Amino acid sequence: MKHRFSRNGRARAIRQIDMLFNEEKNMATLYDALQAEFDADPMKFFREIIMPLAPREAITQTEAILVKWTPADIVRDMDASTTGEAGAENG
């Protein structure tokens, strides 16, 4: 029975959060705070804010793609993007 009250408490807390974010001024305040965090350290923002919100499947797929990159691939892609030859392969 204690577990039942716990779920009701969480549901009420989530409803309160929803009500809080229904206020435009609160959303603007949240936006400003998120922007400040992003500006301070984009990678930290990505790791601490974006990654926990992302579905597990998206994280797994992203990790699988990143693991396939070699340093040579990264250099080639960076060179291509700076010369305007994105997608070109050096062979």
**Over the stretch 32-67, which tens digit does the pLDDT of each residue have?**
999 999 999 998 998 899 888 877 777 677 666 666
Does residue 76 or residue 22 have the better pLDDT? 22
What pLDDT, on a 0 to 100 scale, did the predictor assign at position 52? Answer: 86
Instruction: Give the pTM.
Output: 0.50
38: CB partners within 8 A, 6+ apart: 45
What ranges do the domains of the chain cover? 1-53, 54-91
